[in-house]
Chain A
Amino acid sequence: MQIHLNSEPKKVEDSSTLEQIMQQFGFANKKGIAIALNEVVIPQKKWAETILNENDKLLIITAFQGG
Chain B
Amino acid sequence: MEKLVIANKEFESRLFLGTGKFSSYDLMEKSILASASELVTVALKRVNLTEGENDTILSHLNHEHINLLPNTSGVRNAKEAVFAAELAREALETNWLKLEIHPDPKYLLPDPIETLKAAEELVKKGFIVLPYINADPVICKRLEDVGTAAVMPLGSPIGTNKGLETLAMLKIIIAQSNIPVVIDAGIGSPSHAAQAMEIGADAVLVNTAIAVSQNPVEMAEAFKLATIAGRMAYEAKLGKVNEKAEASSPLTQFLS
| Inter-chain contact B49/A8, CB cutoff 8 Å | yes
Scoring A5, A8, A41 by chain B CB atoms within 10 A of each residue's CB, the highest score goes to A41
| Inter-chain contact B21/A65, CB cutoff 8 Å | yes
Q: Verify if B56 is at the interface (C-beta below 8 Å from A).
A: yes
Q: Verify if B99 is at the interface (C-beta below 8 Å from A).
A: no
| Inter-chain contact B90/A44, CB cutoff 8 Å | yes
| Inter-chain contact B28/A65, CB cutoff 8 Å | yes
| Inter-chain contact A61/B47, CB cutoff 8 Å | yes
Interface 9-residue window, one of B38-46, B166-174, B190-198, B236-244: B38-46
Interface residues contributed by chain A, number (CB under 8 Å) = 25
Interface 9-residue window, one of B2-10, B80-88, B140-148, B227-235: B80-88
| Chain B binding surface SS class | mixed
| Inter-chain contact B44/A63, CB cutoff 8 Å | yes
Interface residues contributed by chain B, number (CB under 8 Å) = 35
Residues 133-179 (chain B) with a chain A CB within 8 angstroms: 158
Beta-carbon contacts of B40-63 to A below 8 Å, as 1s and 0s? Answer: 011111110100110011100000
Choose from A25, A41, A64, A65 the contact partner of B87 (Cβ within 8 Å). Answer: A41
- Complexed CA–CA distance, A6 and B57 (Å): 20
Q: Verify if A51 is at the interface (C-beta below 8 Å from B).
A: no
Beta-carbon contacts of A5-36 to B below 8 Å, as 1s and 0s? Answer: 11010000000000000000111000111111
Residues 32-67 (chain A) with a chain B CB within 8 angstroms: 32-36, 39, 41, 43-44, 59-67
Residues 56-110 (chain B) with a chain A CB within 8 angstroms: 56-58, 68, 70-71, 73, 83, 86-92
| Inter-chain contact B56/A66, CB cutoff 8 Å | no
With contact pairs A32-B56, A33-B91 given, residues A66 and B46 touching in the complex (Cβ less than 8 Å): no
CB<8 Å pairs between A and B, sample of 10: A6-B47, A32-B56, A33-B91, A34-B90, A43-B90, A62-B53, A62-B56, A63-B43, A63-B57, A64-B44
Could you tell me which B residues sit within 8 Å of A by CB distance?
18-22, 28, 41-47, 49, 52-53, 56-58, 68, 70-71, 73, 83, 86-92, 158, 205, 207-208
Q: Kindly list the 9 A-B residue pairs having the minimum CB-CB distance in the complex, ordered from nearest.
A: A66-B43, A67-B18, A67-B207, A34-B91, A34-B90, A67-B20, A64-B45, A63-B42, A34-B87
Could you tell me which A residues sit within 8 Å of B by CB distance?
5-6, 8, 25-27, 31-36, 39, 41, 43-44, 59-67
